[in-house]
A = this chain, B = another copy of it.
Amino acid sequence: MTTDTTPNPQTPPAAAPPLTETDTRVLLRLRRIEGQVRGLQRMIEEGRDCHDILTQLSGVRSALDAAGEQILEQYAGGCRARPGETITPQDVVRAVKLLRR
């Protein structure tokens, strides 16, 4: 029998575009955020006090907002558009509303 041909849902589709420099930077931020969220879980498990936990949670929130802003800027530059889409200023307004929801 030949190797496993089951599609792995995690695998990016063949067509996935190469990562830009901003993509790499956003990914790095998200990895750090993931670690911070794990840190939050540990703080709860360790019975840490409310101030420490809320300070950490507030940091995660800021980090997320910064990532969102970076994605938005990238989008305004034409990247991460739907295939064939040209970004207009109105598109950016629509993207901003997604962020606020």
A interface residues (Cβ-Cβ under 8 A, vs B):
10, 12-13, 15-17, 19, 23, 26-27, 30-31, 33-34, 37-38, 40-42, 44-51, 53-55, 57-58, 60-62, 64-65, 67-69, 71-78, 80-82, 85, 87-101
Residues of B within 8 A of A89 (CB): 75-78, 87-89, 91-92
Q: How far is the CA of A37 from the CA of B38 in the complex (A)?
A: 11
Contact yes or no, A53 B41, CB < 8 A? no
Contact yes or no, B58 A98, CB < 8 A? yes
Stoichiometry, copies per complex: 4
Chain A at the B interface: SS class: helix
Contact yes or no, B13 A27, CB < 8 A? no
